[in-house]
Amino acid sequence: MTRSSIRRGNAGLLMAIALGSMGLLATPRASAQPATPADAKSEQGIKAAADVDLLKDFIHFTRIARYDVAGSVGRELLSRNISPKDFVKLVDGSGESARFDETVGRAMRVSALEQLAGAMYKQYETGRLEAARDPKEIAENISKLTGTVQGRIRASARLKVAGEYAVPQLLTALMDRDNGALRSEAQRVLVDIGSQAVIPLSTAMLGGEPTLQERLADVLGLIGHRSSLPFLADLKLSSTVPNVKSAAERALTRIDPTAVNASVASLYDQLAERYYSQSRDVTSFPGEEYQLLWSYQPQSGLTMTGIKSVVYHEAMAMRLAERALTLDASDSQALSLWLASNLRREIQQPKGYDNPAYPSDRRDAMYFAVTAGAGPCQSVLARAIDAKDTLLARLAIAAIERTAGSTALTAATSAGGTQNGRQPLVEALSYPNRRVQYESALALGGSQPAAPFTGSDRVVPTLAATIREASAKYAGIIARDAEQYQAIRKILEQDGYVVLARGGSLTELEGPIAEVPAVDLIVAIDPNPAEFPALITQVRGTTRTAATPILALTVAEAYPDLRRRYDTEASVAIRPLSIPSDAVLKSAADLVLYSSGGPIGPEEARDYAARSLKTLRDLALSRNTTLPAEEAVLPLIKSLMETTGATRLDVAEVLSLIGQQRAQSALLDAALAASGTDRVALLNKTASSAKRFGNQLDERQVRRVLETARSKDPAESTAAAALAGALNLPNADLLPLILGPRSQASR
């Protein structure tokens, strides 16, 4: 996308690529011949038919429920790569435009034709938008605003379809000093365009000269959309021209009288929050790949820049928050919002994309997050928790961990932002995603808190859980039919999921869910379409599943409607119940990856375990009473028996620092069960425990130590002898080791 223009020519190419990926493109077009009779459509006849005949045949066969023939002629029509503009001309010139709209709507409810009909509809709508947004078409329609009555009506309707794209040229007409009639018509069209005109006009208003500012303030007042409030209040505050200030105040009063004396920064904050939450009223082109950013310079006028929709709302929220901070540097809500938007921009921005709102040479989002410090990042974490935005929560925790001391991590916050009186990092211990739980526990444990805090009892158990459970994947299946449950269970288990017991509803799954750290995936099999929205609400409203992605496998009849309804939901995926097992696994993997970063892999699990063991070791060495390492002793003992290699020795190291009899006893049992270098290393860890806490072994274990000290393996016998010495055993027990076989002979 280049400044002041949007790529219009790419739409046809993008459509062709999309159709190819759906398998809708067939053989290149053959020379046109008369259409084959309706009920005898051979493949050769279909390829030979003219475009208009294929269109009419698609409509006919769809309406008589011959979906197989309709699919064949429809695929051939789309394979001919007709440009979107020409496709509109084809439909409108065929005399079938009304029946086309109705037929496409009907076809989209038939699973065999859904993708095909959707592609046709998209091509038709793309063509209409391309035509309406063409700068030449816009200029021609503006010139007709002062023509005949019928011409004005048609031109106005087309300009409204162009919407935001028509605003720059309408603004020029609005300020035409030599044509009062055109000024009046341009103003009327801008008011009719409504919310899409607010941001470009507000941008021009703040950057323009007084005459333009006064005129645009009046127009914004007539549009009456709340998005203009911060800009009008800003103009009222900053302008020194009485007429401009009066116009701004008139517009404010017309839209919302309470905004006349409101804080300008707070008005910007309110609008920025609507962009951050991606409210429908601040999204000009929902479902489209691009939105528009606006700038104004007196020399070049109002210019547009295309920006990908996935980062548009973050860009606007950052712009508005920046202006709020310029007006009020102490605005903590604006700072939190800017940081959260920037972090989320980084999460969502496509790889390699040149974001026009965030130059590639600008520092990354984490730089600004750590610069801001722990308080604002705690507010960002609170936002993420409330929105169940797992990826943002993890970045916020990473920033907090790098900047905050123990007091800042755990104290209830009361300054600004969204976290008043809250402890976001402590709340994250109960967040329904294990990565967030683990990372918050690591941050809290690493801070070595000196005083107890609400939730401190969950930190050490969470750290201990990472050692054994980090790589486990848990899935819940909601299914009324036991056979369907078993089929999907088998598929998920092949991918390493631990599948909970069947539940016919989420309520029936509450018990099994409570027994696992977190649920990574919920699969709903053949949900009732009328009840599915309530199920989504129930899952999102339940603490332990609020962030869990949901895969719904539904019957063909319900699939199109459910998919359209939840197509934009990042944490919900709708798939046909009949898809093969590999498609189920891919759908689940894509869903979990997009919503929470994917399952924890073996390497990541080892990293979590190593970090947790280091934290537990530090807590044990410091004898921290707020987070006592002793609370991890039972899971550590289990881990000692289940792990191997470096992880096992790290577990043994922590146990050697815990002054409990069961810890020392477990160390020796593990040593005696091992062999070779592992046995030597574990004997040394047991000796370390004995040196710190004395002999806590029972008589049976002491005898085994003495027996091992007689081993023929020099390294093993020396390690056992060192342990015997650390146990401070009576001389009578040690004498056989010192005198060896001679002592026995002398007896």
Give the tens place of pLDDT for each residue, 616-661.
Answer: 999 999 999 999 999 999 999 999 998 889 999 999 999 999 999 9
Q: Distance (Å, rounded) from C-alpha 241 to C-alpha 248?
A: 11
Q: Distance (Å, rounded) from C-alpha 625 to C-alpha 679?
A: 32
Provide mean pLDDT across the span 33-57.
71
Question: Among all chains, which residue has been given the structure tokens 């104290």?
Answer: 411
Please report the pLDDT score of residue 599 as a whole number.
Answer: 84
Please report the pLDDT score of residue 96 as a whole number.
Answer: 84
Provide mean pLDDT across the span 681-703.
95
Specify the CATH number for the domain of residue 483: 3.40.50.2300
**pLDDT-based confidence at residue 565 (cuts at 50, 70, 90):** confident
Query: In whole numbers, what is the pLDDT of the chain averaged over residues?
Result: 88
Asked if pLDDT for residue 281 goes beyond 70, the answer is yes
* Residue 279 and residue 353 in one domain: no
Asked if pLDDT for residue 295 goes beyond 70, the answer is yes
Q: Which tops the pLDDT comparison, 712 or 3?
A: 712
**pLDDT-based confidence at residue 185 (cuts at 50, 70, 90):** very high
Please report the pLDDT score of residue 747 as a whole number.
Answer: 44
Domain that holds residue 624: 603-746
Minimum mean pLDDT among 117-131, 324-338, 680-694: which range?
Answer: 117-131
* Residue 381 and residue 454 in one domain: yes
Residues 458-509 have pLDDT tens digits of 999 999 989 877 778 899 999 999 999 999 999 999 999 999 999 999 999 9
Q: Identify any residues that bridge with 293 across adjacent strands, giving them in sequence order.
A: 305
Percent of the chain scoring above 70 in pLDDT: 90
Structural domains counted in the chain: 5
Residues 433-456 have pLDDT tens digits of 889 999 999 999 998 888 888 888
* Residue 333 and residue 456 in one domain: yes
* Residue 439 and residue 357 in one domain: yes
Please report the pLDDT score of residue 734 as a whole number.
Answer: 65
Provide mean pLDDT across the span 250-277.
97
Please state the pTM of the whole predicted model: 0.80
- Is 209 part of a structural domain of the chain? yes
* Residue 498 and residue 552 in one domain: yes
Q: Are 539 and 550 in contact (CB under 8 A)?
A: yes
* Residue 212 and residue 273 in one domain: yes
* Residue 737 and residue 610 in one domain: yes
Asked if pLDDT for residue 17 goes beyond 80, the answer is no
Asked if pLDDT for residue 248 goes beyond 90, the answer is yes
Please report the pLDDT score of residue 36 as a whole number.
Answer: 42
Comparing C-alpha atoms, which of 658, 612, 611, 626 is closest to residue 448? 626
Residue type, 599: P
- Is 674 part of a structural domain of the chain? yes
Please report the pLDDT score of residue 12 as a whole number.
Answer: 39
User: Assign residue 687 a region: left if phi > 0, alpha if psi is -120 to 50, beta otherwise?
Assistant: alpha
Please report the pLDDT score of residue 732 as a whole number.
Answer: 63
416 burial via Cβ count (<10 Å: 0-12, 13-18, 19+): middle
Asked if pLDDT for residue 410 goes beyond 70, the answer is no
Strands 301-308, 290-297: pairing kind: antiparallel
Q: Distance (Å, rounded) from C-alpha 211 to C-alpha 39?
A: 68
- Is 369 part of a structural domain of the chain? yes
Residues 6+ apart with CB under 8 A from 662: 633, 637
| Helical spans, DSSP H, in 94-209 | 97-107, 114-133, 135-143, 149-162, 167-174, 180-193, 195-207
Provide mean pLDDT across the span 685-699.
95
* Residue 345 and residue 450 in one domain: yes
Last residue of a domain, one of 78, 111, 133: 133
Q: Distance (Å, rounded) from C-alpha 298 to C-alpha 510?
A: 62
- Is 192 part of a structural domain of the chain? yes
- Is 556 part of a structural domain of the chain? yes
Residue 648, token pair as written in the block: 């096992």
Comparing C-alpha atoms, which of 108, 134, 131, 112 is closest to residue 121? 108
- Is 663 part of a structural domain of the chain? yes
* Residue 279 and residue 364 in one domain: no
Q: Are 156 and 189 in contact (CB under 8 A)?
A: yes
* Residue 286 and residue 400 in one domain: no
Residues 328-354 have pLDDT tens digits of 999 999 999 999 999 999 999 999 999
- Is 27 part of a structural domain of the chain? yes
Comparing C-alpha atoms, which of 744, 661, 672, 667 is closest to residue 703? 672
Residues 6+ apart with CB under 8 A from 394: 435, 436, 439, 597
Provide mean pLDDT across the span 2-12.
39
- Is 1 part of a structural domain of the chain? no
Asked if pLDDT for residue 742 goes beyond 80, the answer is no
* Residue 727 and residue 617 in one domain: yes
Question: Among all chains, which residue has been given the structure tokens 């881990």?
Answer: 639
* Residue 360 and residue 301 in one domain: no
Asked if pLDDT for residue 381 goes beyond 60, the answer is yes
